Structure 1
Amino acid sequence: MDPRRNPYAPGAGSAPPELAGRDEVLERTSIMLDRLVARHPTRGFIFYGLRGVGKTVLLQRVLLDAEVSGMAVVEIEAPEDQSLPAMLAPALRATLIRMSKGKMAKAMVRRALGVLAAFVRAAKIKYEDVEISMDFIGEEGMADSGDLELDLGDLLIAVGEAAAEHHTAAVLFIDELQYVKEKQLAALTRALHKTSQRRLPITLVAAGLPQLLAQMGRAKSYTERLFEFVEIGPLDEADGMRALRVPAAKEQVEFSDDALRTILSQTQGYPYFIQEWGKQAWNTARQSPISRRDALTAGTIALADLDASFFRVRFDRLAPAEKRYARAMATLGQGPYRTGDIARVLEEKTTTVGPIRARLIKKGMVYSPSHGDTAFTVPLFADFLERTMPWRPAPDGGAD
């Protein structure tokens, strides 16, 4: 069929043509945003789950809803090697300047810009990666102590007061939150705790990998009272079929039931893979309805594409010892995997390979679903390793 009319959208954070299976959580976030503006007690949202489940898509949808409602949004994607002040300062500056446009800046916006200037000055001394110039005079004695917990609290209070003065709310949207260091995560949590105590209209909506739950629990013991933690998982059969059928129907194309079941079985319901299989099935089929044979051919093509891109880019970030640890996991099946079993496959002591596991967790490749267990954060990654990396015991009988 005509690839120009192909409606499917596989891509990093690309919104699918049909956002299936997320209606309930979107309604909950909508209620939260309305309550935030009205300054009623509420909690922020933390979306967590594996790669490819649509966390970023969901985050972007909530951000769009907030923007349409006239809220002040602060959008950040956390990289692995940057401090929280370095990420937050330029994004907050842009948001506060937008709040001051179109009319004379109100007192609280001017004050917030001054507090931000003081925060940036102090952060540049402590965090050398802060590279932003401020054209505003710093607010004396505010957010300038060099203690991130204290300073970030001052800053977010000032931003919350500016939002309240504009009869709106400010929302921090942070993707890949698991990459924020735990001490800085603790500072952010404490700052939002302060704003919550004052009923200020500012909150956090964030997304991250499953290890984020443990990270935030370690950062501050009261995080569950500040945020709703929402697990984002694969789609069930009905929603998976909806994700495939609705976009095709808009182009007057249908799927056979066998084709739908084949795709959902191969993709295990993961939204990113559903989009990839849908794209390939469309391009493979000669006519409607798309058949099971089309779906099987699409699966072969989709896996080849994923091996060369989605899986490969993550695999190539790993050091040789990390690749070997991951391959040892794959020999044990789909997981989760007991840490001792992985060490046994590697013919090493658990304590010896522990640092490798820690590095893989830090890189966001694996997580610990429960004590003593390890699992991949990337769905179907074990199958990729089985296809592309033959398993060989280390020449010396241990991990290399």
Structure 2
Amino acid sequence: MDKIRNPFSPGAGTPPPELAGRDNVLEQARVLFGRVRAGRPEKSIFMTGLRGVGKTVLLNEMEFMAEDAGYKTILIEAHEEKPLALLLIPHMRRLLFSLDRIKGAGDKVRRGIAVLKSFISGLKLSMGDVEFGLDIEPERGVADNGDLEVDLPNLFMALGEAARERNSCIAILIDEIQYLGKAELSALIMAMHKMQQRQLPIVLVGAGLPILAGMAGDSKSYAERLFNFPNLGPLPEEESIKAIREPIEAAGERIDPDALTEISRLTKGYPYFLQEWGYQAWDHAEDSPITRQIIDEASDIVAKRLDENFFRVRFNRLTPKEKVYLRGMAELGEGPYKSGEVAGVLDSDIRKMGPVRASLIKKGMIYSPSHGHMAYTVPLFGEFMRRAMPDEQGSL
């Protein structure tokens, strides 16, 4: 098998050759972009799911869809070390200047630039010196008091009015949105509430871990009326098989049915693992068809690759106590896990485990699917923990 022609591409956000099993959420995005473009109200989208289900791939696909529908787009990735405002400002500056270059740009666009300058001035009140080179007088008294929950909605309104004046629409796409602070998420939801109230042409598409829906609801009770929350899980067997078989056949090669069934079983339908298995199965096969024997022989290679890349990069961010906690969860088999049961495995006081559990949630390693229960955010991470720490013991 020619490795250069291998159709699979395991990676962070790398588009797969076959985007299987996600038609429903892509249809939601198509309807959102189309309705807002036509001046009709529609809920924005917050996608949720575990690591490796393809949220980033879908977010990138939705950016292409928005651009094809005539939108101007902003795509950012939230993270713990940089405030939302600083992530947004350069893109909003670029976007407003692109609107300003359109022939006949009117007062709303220039006002949007002035409000952005005011927003930056307001940030200086709370964050120190911030400069992005806007050679225009700010609009005093608008979006400049340093309170994000007041300023961000005002900035969005100015941006939305500028877009509407130029017969344009804007799609803001944010990955890893669960890393936003409480005030940031609240400000973002309030801003989108204003967009719906004023029927301004800005949509928001976010992607994050399963805790996102709860975070949004806790932040603003009306969030469920502003957003759809599609949950992305593993693919069913039929779609898992399609995701492997169709790229292979499109490349002119074949794979046996029992090999496909085994890949679906081993990966449990998670798209990232499907890509890794498809990639290694192709490279390991000398000729077509790819057989069940090839899958069996490639198992150790795939496990090593996943351990060294997908799992290890997250494991290395953990403190010793965090590793012990996650290893305790793994000892209980398939989750979700009751906090008391984890404490029992570790022979620890449940009250002492609280700070470690909170730290793991903040790092995006675990989440609470229901009250009093914990689960890994990374599929198959428990199996990895048992390999990484086969006999290691520790305490909290």
Per the alignment, residue 90 of structure 1 pairs with 90
- Quote the Cα distance in structure 1 between the aligned partners of 2:281 and 2:194: 51
1:181 matches 2:175: no
What does residue range 97-112 of structure 1 map to in structure 2 within 5 Å?
97-112=97-112
Per the alignment, residue 317 of structure 1 pairs with 317
Per the alignment, residue 71 of structure 1 pairs with 71
Segment drifting more, 134-143 vs 315-324: 134-143
Q: For 1:142, what is the secondary structure of its paired residue? A: coil
- Quote the Cα distance in structure 2 between the aligned partners of 1:303 and 1:278: 13
**Deviation digits for residues 325-377 of structure 1 (CA, Å, limit 9, x no counterpart):** 11111111121110011111121111110110000000000000000000000
Deviation at 1:131, TM superposition (A): 5.4
Aligned residues: 396
1:340 matches 2:340: yes
Per the alignment, residue 13 of structure 2 pairs with 13
Q: Given that residues 76 and 87 in structure 2 are in contact (C-alpha distance below 8 angstroms), is that contact kept between their aligned partners in structure 1? A: yes
Deviation at 1:104, TM superposition (A): 4.8
Residue identity matched to 2:123: A
**Deviation digits for residues 125-177 of structure 1 (CA, Å, limit 9, x no counterpart):** 21348553333321122111222111111100011111111212111100000
**Deviation digits for residues 212-241 of structure 1 (CA, Å, limit 9, x no counterpart):** 111111111110000000001111111111
Per the alignment, residue 359 of structure 2 pairs with 359
- Quote the Cα distance in structure 1 between the aligned partners of 2:53 and 2:128: 35
Segment drifting more, 234-243 vs 4-13: 234-243
Per the alignment, residue 25 of structure 1 pairs with 25
Per the alignment, residue 238 of structure 1 pairs with 238
- Quote the Cα distance in structure 2 between the aligned partners of 1:336 and 1:278: 29
Per the alignment, residue 350 of structure 2 pairs with 350
**Cα–Cα, structure 1 residues 382 and 146, in superposed 2: closer, same or farther, change >3 Å?**
same
Q: For 1:350, what is the secondary structure of its paired residue? A: coil
Q: Given that residues 85 and 127 in structure 1 are in contact (C-alpha distance below 8 angstroms), is that contact kept between their aligned partners in structure 2? A: no
Structure 1 spans left out of the alignment, 5+ residues: none
Residue identity matched to 2:303: L
Deviation at 1:24, TM superposition (A): 1.9
Q: For 1:382, what is the secondary structure of its paired residue? A: helix
Deviation at 1:113, TM superposition (A): 0.9
1:49 matches 2:49: yes
Per the alignment, residue 61 of structure 2 pairs with 61
Residue identity matched to 2:330: A
Percent identical: 48
- Quote the Cα distance in structure 1 between the aligned partners of 2:129 and 2:243: 42
Q: Given that residues 59 and 207 in structure 2 are in contact (C-alpha distance below 8 angstroms), is that contact kept between their aligned partners in structure 1? A: yes
- Quote the Cα distance in structure 2 between the aligned partners of 1:185 and 1:69: 27
**RMSD of aligned alpha carbons:** 1.3
- Quote the Cα distance in structure 2 between the aligned partners of 1:177 and 1:121: 25
Q: Given that residues 86 and 129 in structure 1 are in contact (C-alpha distance below 8 angstroms), is that contact kept between their aligned partners in structure 2? A: no
- Quote the Cα distance in structure 1 between the aligned partners of 2:132 and 2:370: 41
Per the alignment, residue 282 of structure 2 pairs with 282
Residue identity matched to 1:21: G
Q: For 1:39, what is the secondary structure of its paired residue? A: coil
Q: For 1:309, what is the secondary structure of its paired residue? A: helix
TM-score after normalising by structure 2: 0.97
- Quote the Cα distance in structure 1 between the aligned partners of 2:104 and 2:358: 51
Structure 2 spans left out of the alignment, 5+ residues: none
- Quote the Cα distance in structure 2 between the aligned partners of 1:181 and 1:86: 13
Segment drifting more, 43-52 vs 32-41: 32-41
**Cα–Cα, structure 1 residues 67 and 244, in superposed 2: closer, same or farther, change >3 Å?**
same
Q: For 2:351, what is the secondary structure of its paired residue? A: helix
Per the alignment, residue 157 of structure 1 pairs with 157
Deviation at 1:270, TM superposition (A): 0.3
- Quote the Cα distance in structure 2 between the aligned partners of 1:31 and 1:85: 28
Q: Given that residues 330 and 383 in structure 2 are in contact (C-alpha distance below 8 angstroms), is that contact kept between their aligned partners in structure 1? A: yes
Q: Given that residues 255 and 291 in structure 1 are in contact (C-alpha distance below 8 angstroms), is that contact kept between their aligned partners in structure 2? A: yes
Q: Given that residues 124 and 146 in structure 2 are in contact (C-alpha distance below 8 angstroms), is that contact kept between their aligned partners in structure 1? A: no
- Quote the Cα distance in structure 1 between the aligned partners of 2:297 and 2:113: 57
- Quote the Cα distance in structure 1 between the aligned partners of 2:246 and 2:236: 15
Q: Given that residues 324 and 393 in structure 2 are in contact (C-alpha distance below 8 angstroms), is that contact kept between their aligned partners in structure 1? A: no
- Quote the Cα distance in structure 2 between the aligned partners of 1:69 and 1:84: 26
Q: Given that residues 15 and 57 in structure 2 are in contact (C-alpha distance below 8 angstroms), is that contact kept between their aligned partners in structure 1? A: yes
Deviation at 1:179, TM superposition (A): 0.2
Q: Given that residues 258 and 291 in structure 2 are in contact (C-alpha distance below 8 angstroms), is that contact kept between their aligned partners in structure 1? A: yes
Residue identity matched to 1:341: E
1:308 matches 2:308: yes
Deviation at 1:121, TM superposition (A): 0.9
Q: Given that residues 173 and 205 in structure 2 are in contact (C-alpha distance below 8 angstroms), is that contact kept between their aligned partners in structure 1? A: yes
Segment drifting more, 94-103 vs 191-200: 94-103
TM-score after normalising by structure 1: 0.96
**Deviation digits for residues 266-320 of structure 1 (CA, Å, limit 9, x no counterpart):** 0000000000000000001111111001112222211101101110000000111
